[in-house]
Amino acid sequence: MSAKEFSYNGSGHAAAQLRHLTIRQLRSLAALSAKGSVTAASTQLGLTQPAVTQQLRQLQDLAGLPLVQRTGDGMLLTEAGREVLALAERVEAAITDCQGALDLLAGRTGGTVHLGAVSTAKYFVPHAIAAFSKRSPKIEIKLTIGNREEIREAMHGYELDFAVMGRPPADVSVDVRQLGRNPHIIVARKGHWLEKDSGLSLTDLVHETFLTREPGSGTRTLMEGMFQKSDLEPIIGMEMSSNETIKQAVIAGLGIAFISAHTVAHELAEGRLIVLDVAGLPIVRQWYVIRRSDKVLLPPAQAMFDFLGSEGANYLPEVPDFGKR
């Protein structure tokens, strides 16, 4: 599209007309943002290119500001365009919520709950879901698992009703319910040469190889902060995106790991992993269930949000009582 095609009139009167925009215009902008070109956006929407161009031009005229700019990487949104895109996301979420409410009123469904969880929480969230589903069998629950950064990013939108994670995002206004304690420890294979030592310091571990989650993981961030406070730097052997892989690698003797005790509860109970007695550990964080403050929860989602807030701690894995170490 040429600059001429995206000419706009910058009058205050035009900006005041934004209330007259249409859903089709918003969807055209969202498709352009996602695909980077009018051609690809038109294919996604099932419209002709001229139709999409017209929708975008009309939306820009209503906004009274340029919404799109051409770059070497394709058509990108301006700051004003991103503001309108945020509106489009809220509108789509509201439409979805309304459809869900209408389905509930019509008796067509028990409703759907969209739940996100950081990967470490997968060791207890399914059990909580199972308990809730026994009480409300008609409610469909869709679970999205990701690392902390992925779930944090998802909370910027409105698709998730709420999420279970260890630390609420600082850049999104959220309502929070506390679930329970989340202790972090350092584990090694059974028979590790430091197994019987007590009162270890981080300095005692600087020659050990640490197996870690990928950057962006909450556990990785917590571990790095722990070492930075002591002006130390751990030896990173392997980065893995799965706690299961880390556990098996530690059992195989490839290194040690800083990890949530909830992810290794079974291995500790079975004696396949041991906890190193390191001063200052465990580091105890909290599990939370969070939702955007401006996210309106339909009755099924509100019921599950309340359930997790009041009973979610009952489904946390049992871990040893580490006491004060």
Q: What is the reported pLDDT for 138?
A: 85
The token pair at 273 is 């992993």
pLDDT confidence bin for 109, thresholds 50/70/90: low
Q: What is the reported pLDDT for 2?
A: 44
What are the start-end ranges of the H helices in the chain?
Answer: 12-15, 23-35, 38-45, 49-63, 79-106, 125-135, 148-154, 218-229, 243-251, 265-270, 299-311
pLDDT higher than 90, residue 209: yes
Please tell me the distance from the alpha carbon of residue 6 to that of residue 180, in angstroms, as a whole number: 53
Q: What is the reported pLDDT for 229?
A: 94
- C-alpha closest to that of 293 among 182, 141, 155, 194: 155
Please tell me the distance from the alpha carbon of residue 307 to that of residue 264, in angstroms, as a whole number: 25
Q: What is the reported pLDDT for 47?
A: 92
Instruction: State residue 8 phi and psi, 5-degree precision.
Output: -140, 160
Q: What is the reported pLDDT for 11?
A: 47
Q: What is the pLDDT of residues 256-304, one digit of tens each?
A: 999 999 999 999 999 999 999 999 999 999 999 999 999 988 888 999 9
Please tell me the distance from the alpha carbon of residue 212 to that of residue 234, in angstroms, as a whole number: 10
pLDDT confidence bin for 54, thresholds 50/70/90: very high
Q: What is the reported pLDDT for 105?
A: 65
The token pair at 158 is 């409105």
Q: Do 41 and 28 form a contact (C-beta atoms < 8 A)?
A: yes
Q: What is the pLDDT of residues 162-185, one digit of tens each?
A: 999 998 988 899 999 999 999 999
Element (DSSP H or E) covering residue 211:
strand 209-213
- Please give the mean pLDDT across all residues of the chain: 89
Query: What percentage of the chain exceeds 90 in pLDDT?
Result: 72
Please tell me the distance from the alpha carbon of residue 209 to that of residue 212, in angstroms, as a whole number: 10
Domains in the chain, please, with CATH?
Answer: 18-81 (1.10.10.10), 89-180+286-315 (3.40.190.10), 182-284 (3.40.190.10)
Q: What is the pLDDT of residues 34-50, one digit of tens each?
A: 999 999 999 999 999 99
pLDDT higher than 80, residue 117: yes
Amino acid at 32: L
The pLDDT of 2-19, averaged and rounded, is: 54
pLDDT higher than 60, residue 55: yes
Beta strand 209-213 pairing with 283-292: unpaired
pLDDT confidence bin for 313, thresholds 50/70/90: very high
Sole residue written with tokens 């028990």: 110
Beta strand 257-260 pairing with 235-240: unpaired
The pLDDT of 74-84, averaged and rounded, is: 91
Write the CA distances from 315 to 44, 179, 268, 306, 311, integer angstroms. Answer: 42, 10, 18, 15, 8
pLDDT confidence bin for 324, thresholds 50/70/90: very low
pLDDT confidence bin for 141, thresholds 50/70/90: very high
Q: Do 9 and 57 form a contact (C-beta atoms < 8 A)?
A: no
